[in-house]
Structure 1
């Protein structure tokens, strides 16, 4: 992108080696990922793959057959006996977890004759996906090719011993590794195999590395190379024996004549084009932009009560880089695509009741359709399972999504009386919304997504069968993840009636199904849905049911679903409900300061046009030591639990503070953040098929250059006024508000 901020914002630099895997610098192609860390003369490259999950016996688990129990469950809930209903919905009561994401192995690179290390630097180049380690006497470069599906490393640090190991922290004894170095004709390979226990899942996984260079020694699990060398690695995970080593060797042999630069150029043509579509310039002084990542983090730590623009700007670009790099065959997991130990929190899976959708928040508006396509891959591979869930649990048509998946199936079996996810009705809508939003942003046909959206409406039609005396639908069972109203003993019981998120999802699903199908057979049901409830404090209630009081400290804010992402409640068009939503958000505490909770609150605050509250929630992340030196984030303060929620969601918060949209309406600076008085945002894409080629702002003024592929009239709102703007197809239009003038001029921009 021309005219963007200087190259320094598109990389991170560190002058200290990473001594632990959490600070490893990261690269990925959406299928495989690498983590580069260690000392200059003893480096480790941990190799990950999206499909590497440890069998635990749940691969063939199915949803429990609960449909026959539903009348009794509803009766108990409406009678106030919610704990009994929860026990019925829990099936056998055993809480089963998804198969846990795990690291594969590590390539080890050790100098044969270590020399002095002067001018050490390591860096990640966001625009190329390279991780580079260099010092006065050597350099190593690595990336994961999106074009060739290879992990590529170039060594230029004298004689090195290259090996492979499966000895990573927390490795279960039941996973057996074998490693070997060998020649096959003129080619030299390193091979690693991990054999899973027989627990009902895949057979194992394999990595094969081809080494090219001046090879001196081949034996055991080590290869010694003299001088420069090129390493190329491919991965596999067979469901059953035999191993497919021969096929992997053929894939590598096909690239045996390639050099590092040509492989990188092919990768950058895909990765770089996507990454550079969007940029943010916060007018940070050059000296601050050039700071190593450790000093950027230290500057924020020294002043936790304010947002450091230099760090915020870098986190924006790092977040987009990490989101793109972890999205391809699947969208990002809880840890993106990276993990250095076998003890992933929450199985390192896709947690769908908040985390995954939050990570995807910046994909469509941030011009990363590659990420949305990866999410579509996940959904496409699981909709049959969602249909099975709906039939088994509700005897219904349509789609019922689980609260978590390991990526291999979408069956709903993570159930317990304290976690009644059988009662979580809006999961499929929550997960389909990014695909619908992609249509709003691009105008691309919905295709198969239209059918899925209709199935969501059919599910609600079949499930919403209970009405009150006035004919209003009662949503029962219902669950506002992951909390519930207190019972008479002051204990939270999660299964309930009329969760606000359920009402919002049903309302939107029924309306959207009519829109995409052209037939409104859901109009009657839509009119009978309950209204949102405002409680005695003037706050949007989490349940539209009298007598319910919940945990105001809880990390989830599911009841703000009609605010974000649906934009059904907003200050312009529904001011009373917006005030109630804002009151609910202001009353919500922080529980454990989880990253996803703070970012969810920040997105809702931005939609409610409160920049100060948006910034306050960002400060909970930036001011509490929650970013590793790779700028991957932690789940909790003090760098507790490696987790991608904050890293991936933060760019969306910044975009939403500067630009919001829906078809026919564009909001400029809806929630400007304190102290970010001037800047330039380029390349974002908006709902309604409008691109903001450039948005610039300064005190008292905002200017935007807009581009649409179709002619349309657009209402543009800003803090300094609003007007209708006529967009001509494929013709830039500039609109400005505030001093010294207001103008809307069509032209080349």
Structure 2
């Protein structure tokens, strides 16, 4: 493994193969994924593809055409009859689910007469994207290694040893495979050292795709390869190479094109790897975190690292440091043609929870929270691609449901369309009007980080305009004081306490989304010199939006409407949208509302300790400068048996349900605790937990064209330093409440283009 030995480690290792697929080590290129179990005798390589979803009839479903009932529904909600309003707005449909994400197949490599092994070690190298295993037996030393190429869009595996005596087969027999999904495997011998193995999977007949195909090219270096039924058999070679390509189509996939893709590639592992690392390593190396962990702790196998956290009543800096790097690694590896799914890009059995889709009311944005600040524009591009493919469906949703211009986003998608169909009378998703603004925010953040006006002009500004147009049409009611009323309104996935039904008025998330959508569109239009008349209308609407409400407990209320009570226990904290990610409520600019938001965060119970809930809370806690809550919410993940040996995470304690929410959101939490930024402001150590007493982070991108090239600190010595740079001339207010001197209050710091600025910090311990 090429992991550097000085400083933070950029990989993990284990001393035993994975017993179950969830502990398998991971590689991916944003389109295809690989899970390697690392068994010397019977290796299993599970292959995945982002677009492998099982047809279930939902691809043709449309949003409810209920715009003609809107006034009736609004009257019902305002009268307090939420259940009747939900029935009227669901058009009588039953809850339908997105097409479920499913695994592809498994590449089986079975050795003949394997001998006992010693000195076993399997690894994931975050910098190269490789998973590997090495061991020794009576015959000598063996090594396997694999990666998924970002350059060539193929999965690559190599096995080398004294004398390979094994059979290779592609199998669709993975747990939970529906009876109607069939598969077959065919081996075709090309010459003495090469074969093609083809797996053909077929879906049940009906609406949706026909099936999926995988083609593997097997090449040996110096030994013959033959065929025994549906297996390729290798005898006596010292090395073999497998290169695999996947596809899925509405009709039988064109295998000729797949074979051509394989045959134009060099049958040489190192050459294929170098083409891949030129892209992958460049992305990964942009940011690094060092929490002052000892070399001994960094050298621990992953099993010992996780066991040490069980014994630690707090949050282990050693585990946090490697989770930061692992989270960026899997975020990179699962983002490309699409952003990460609920399972990232990996799945080892059929029947994924929640269809393994893109759940957009919380989970997707939480997984993408570190994309811009940890310098991964490629990840943002995957979200842009998803939205671009579905924006026409968002327009259809707005017209059908509200009779409105603009866009209305769904609460979930399988990646094939964005029509709003997942709803019924109990789950009123047609009433969630914040979705488009919420999903566009990561793109707006990318513009804040990069200043890319070409990106702003197209596609972002036109989409922001459409989000504003929706609210312009939607905001048609007012209260007795002349303030606009958001009705119907829905706070995901919860209703007011002590009342039947979730349909409500003035959900805090919806108010925040309306305010942000209108103001973001005004800013973008002013920047580009477009839509002046519309921008003037939106500025008038902004002045009439309802204010946030602080309830009798001193907490930010979930609904700004009389009689609607915030529940004490729920996994979602959508009403903190003005805190994170919007920066609308901050401790500096709106201290009273910030105190109320903090109170809301403390009062909210965890319900079932869902991973996304804890990480959402941690991100809000960082914005509210509450390091104790940052650490407490990280501890809910790391201290509750929610991390697999792959460092992928689970949705609930006890390793229940493979899920990428925590894995991908943890890097964002650490960044937010160390560096907060918004236009004109960079704040250092806003929520630094005491156990992070010493460390360094480099490469953080700020939402104002500034990069924190380095931020180092040692609280025991009361010292630190920060290096800022920018590609344009910019002046920011640099703040650090831990520092003594002018910087503690916010010191203007000019940063000239291409000229880094270094400042020494005198810190409180």
TM bracket (short chain): over 0.9
1:626 aligns with 2:636: no
Question: Contact (CA 8 Å) 2:338, 2:415: kept in 1 or not?
Answer: yes
Q: Residue 514 of structure 2 corresponds to which residue in structure 1?
A: 506
1:319 aligns with 2:327: yes
Post-superposition offset of 1:492? 4.6
Q: 1:353 aligns with which of 350, 361, 367?
A: 361
Post-superposition offset of 1:550? 3.1
Q: Residue 416 of structure 2 corresponds to which residue in structure 1?
A: 408
Deviations 1:667-724 (A, max 9, x none): 0000001211010001111100000000001113332100011111110000221311
1:141 aligns with 2:159: no
Task: Label 1:259 to 1:5 Cα distance change in 2 as closer, same or farther (>3 A).
Answer: closer
1:203 aligns with 2:198: no
> In 1, Cα distance between the equivalents of 2:165 and 2:282?
36
Matches within 5 A, 1:630-641: 630-641=646-657
Give the 3-state SS of the residue equivalent to 2:395 in structure 1: helix
Give the 3-state SS of the residue equivalent to 1:101 in structure 2: coil
Question: Contact (CA 8 Å) 1:483, 1:554: kept in 2 or not?
Answer: yes
Matches within 5 A, 1:164-175: 164-175=170-181
Q: Residue 381 of structure 1 corresponds to which residue in structure 2?
A: 389
Post-superposition offset of 1:224? 1.3
> In 1, Cα distance between the equivalents of 2:543 and 2:114?
75
Q: Residue 668 of structure 1 corresponds to which residue in structure 2?
A: 684
Question: Contact (CA 8 Å) 1:20, 1:38: kept in 2 or not?
Answer: no
Q: Residue 12 of structure 1 corresponds to which residue in structure 2?
A: 12
Question: Contact (CA 8 Å) 1:4, 1:281: kept in 2 or not?
Answer: no
Matches within 5 A, 1:312-461: 312-445=320-453, 446=456, 447-461=458-472
Task: Pick which of 207-216 and 538-547 moved more.
Answer: 207-216
Q: Residue 572 of structure 1 corresponds to which residue in structure 2?
A: 588
Q: Residue 152 of structure 1 corresponds to which residue in structure 2?
A: 156
Post-superposition offset of 1:185? 5.9
Post-superposition offset of 1:283? 0.8
Q: 2:248 aligns with which of 222, 230, 237?
A: 237
Post-superposition offset of 1:258? 3.4
Task: Pick which of 514-523 and 163-172 moved more.
Answer: 514-523
Post-superposition offset of 1:199? 2.9
Question: Contact (CA 8 Å) 2:159, 2:241: kept in 1 or not?
Answer: yes
> In 1, Cα distance between the equivalents of 2:714 and 2:401?
55
Task: Label 1:24 to 1:639 Cα distance change in 2 as closer, same or farther (>3 A).
Answer: same
Post-superposition offset of 1:640? 0.2
> In 1, Cα distance between the equivalents of 2:100 and 2:238?
39
Task: Label 1:630 to 1:492 Cα distance change in 2 as closer, same or farther (>3 A).
Answer: farther
Question: Contact (CA 8 Å) 1:8, 1:290: kept in 2 or not?
Answer: no
> In 2, Cα distance between the equivalents of 1:497 and 1:276?
47
1:482 aligns with 2:493: yes
> In 1, Cα distance between the equivalents of 2:655 and 2:90?
34
Q: Residue 744 of structure 1 corresponds to which residue in structure 2?
A: none
Q: Which runs of 5+ in 1 are unaligned?
A: 742-749
1:737 aligns with 2:761: yes
Q: 1:181 aligns with which of 174, 187, 191?
A: 187
Task: Label 1:543 to 1:121 Cα distance change in 2 as closer, same or farther (>3 A).
Answer: same
Task: Label 1:8 to 1:281 Cα distance change in 2 as closer, same or farther (>3 A).
Answer: closer
Deviations 1:238-264 (A, max 9, x none): 1113x3111111110101x33100100
Question: Contact (CA 8 Å) 2:8, 2:289: kept in 1 or not?
Answer: no
Question: Contact (CA 8 Å) 1:358, 1:649: kept in 2 or not?
Answer: yes
Matches within 5 A, 1:92-103: 92-103=92-103
> In 1, Cα distance between the equivalents of 2:129 and 2:401?
44
Task: Label 1:349 to 1:20 Cα distance change in 2 as closer, same or farther (>3 A).
Answer: same
Post-superposition offset of 1:160? 2.0
Q: Residue 529 of structure 2 corresponds to which residue in structure 1?
A: none
Task: Pick which of 545-554 and 674-683 moved more.
Answer: 545-554
> In 2, Cα distance between the equivalents of 1:215 and 1:552?
67
Q: Residue 748 of structure 2 corresponds to which residue in structure 1?
A: 724
Q: 1:713 aligns with which of 722, 725, 731?
A: 731
> In 2, Cα distance between the equivalents of 1:215 and 1:517?
66
> In 2, Cα distance between the equivalents of 1:270 and 1:132?
20
> In 2, Cα distance between the equivalents of 1:336 and 1:199?
28
Give the 3-state SS of the residue equivalent to 1:650 in structure 2: helix
> In 1, Cα distance between the equivalents of 2:91 and 2:244?
44
Post-superposition offset of 1:38? 5.1
Aligned length: 734
Post-superposition offset of 1:736? 2.7
Task: Pick which of 380-389 and 6-15 moved more.
Answer: 6-15
> In 2, Cα distance between the equivalents of 1:199 and 1:616?
49
Question: Contact (CA 8 Å) 1:28, 1:325: kept in 2 or not?
Answer: yes
> In 1, Cα distance between the equivalents of 2:753 and 2:334?
34
Task: Pick which of 292-301 and 509-518 moved more.
Answer: 509-518
> In 1, Cα distance between the equivalents of 2:599 and 2:407?
33
Deviations 1:582-608 (A, max 9, x none): 000010111000000000000000000
Question: Contact (CA 8 Å) 1:5, 1:281: kept in 2 or not?
Answer: no
Post-superposition offset of 1:69? 0.7
Post-superposition offset of 1:39? 2.5
Deviations 1:89-139 (A, max 9, x none): 222230000000000000001112312211001000000000001102311
1:271 aligns with 2:280: yes
TM-score, normalized by length of structure 2?
A: 0.94
> In 2, Cα distance between the equivalents of 1:701 and 1:541?
41
Post-superposition offset of 1:448? 1.1
Post-superposition offset of 1:419? 1.1
Question: Contact (CA 8 Å) 1:179, 1:192: kept in 2 or not?
Answer: yes
Give the 3-state SS of the residue equivalent to 1:506 in structure 2: helix
Task: Label 1:655 to 1:8 Cα distance change in 2 as closer, same or farther (>3 A).
Answer: closer
Task: Label 1:36 to 1:8 Cα distance change in 2 as closer, same or farther (>3 A).
Answer: farther
Question: Contact (CA 8 Å) 1:293, 1:629: kept in 2 or not?
Answer: yes
Post-superposition offset of 1:491? 4.2
> In 1, Cα distance between the equivalents of 2:8 and 2:159?
25
> In 1, Cα distance between the equivalents of 2:77 and 2:110?
63
Post-superposition offset of 1:183? 2.0
Q: Which runs of 5+ in 2 are unaligned?
A: 527-531
Task: Label 1:5 to 1:412 Cα distance change in 2 as closer, same or farther (>3 A).
Answer: farther
Question: Contact (CA 8 Å) 1:74, 1:85: kept in 2 or not?
Answer: yes
Q: Residue 115 of structure 1 corresponds to which residue in structure 2?
A: 115
> In 2, Cα distance between the equivalents of 1:341 and 1:94?
27
Q: 2:711 aligns with which of 680, 684, 695?
A: 695
Q: Residue 221 of structure 1 corresponds to which residue in structure 2?
A: 230
> In 2, Cα distance between the equivalents of 1:729 and 1:78?
54
> In 1, Cα distance between the equivalents of 2:762 and 2:211?
62
1:283 aligns with 2:292: yes
> In 1, Cα distance between the equivalents of 2:5 and 2:491?
42
Question: Contact (CA 8 Å) 1:483, 1:492: kept in 2 or not?
Answer: no
Deviations 1:176-206 (A, max 9, x none): 1011111246741111011011231111000
Post-superposition offset of 1:740? 10
Q: Residue 268 of structure 2 corresponds to which residue in structure 1?
A: 259
Question: Contact (CA 8 Å) 2:48, 2:104: kept in 1 or not?
Answer: yes
1:130 aligns with 2:136: no
> In 2, Cα distance between the equivalents of 1:258 and 1:272?
22
Deviations 1:42-78 (A, max 9, x none): 0100000000000000111110101001110000000
